[in-house]
Amino acid sequence: CRDLDGELHELDSQWRTDSCHDCSCSEGAIDCCSSFLTPSDYDEENCVSILNKETCTYKVVEKDDHSKECPVHKWVG
């Protein structure tokens, strides 16, 4: 299988992309899905969600002070 970046993967192999998607190669197809939960119910006016690509997790913090986390009421994934 050849992924969107042009990299070849063996049949029946699995890998995680740089954008935190888990992919697998089967005969005739590559299937990918997100490996993380996405915050969907938080104060978007004052807060921002940031994806940590090393841990493949989101953190929701205040726009003006990234050291302060914001409450998240719903996650989707």
Q: What is the mean pLDDT of each run of 10 residues along the chain (77 residues)?
A: 89 93 92 93 97 95 98 94
- Same-domain check for residues 5 and 22: yes
pLDDT for 28 equals 82
- Do 21 and 42 fall within a single domain? no
Q: pTM (2 decimals)? A: 0.71
Find the CATH number of the domain harbouring 54: 2.20.25.590
Domain that holds residue 51: 38-76
pLDDT attached to residue 3? 87
- Tell me, yes or no, whether 46 and 22 share the same domain: no
Contact 68, 59 (CB under 8 A): no
Q: Tell me: do 50 and 62 sit in the same domain.
A: yes
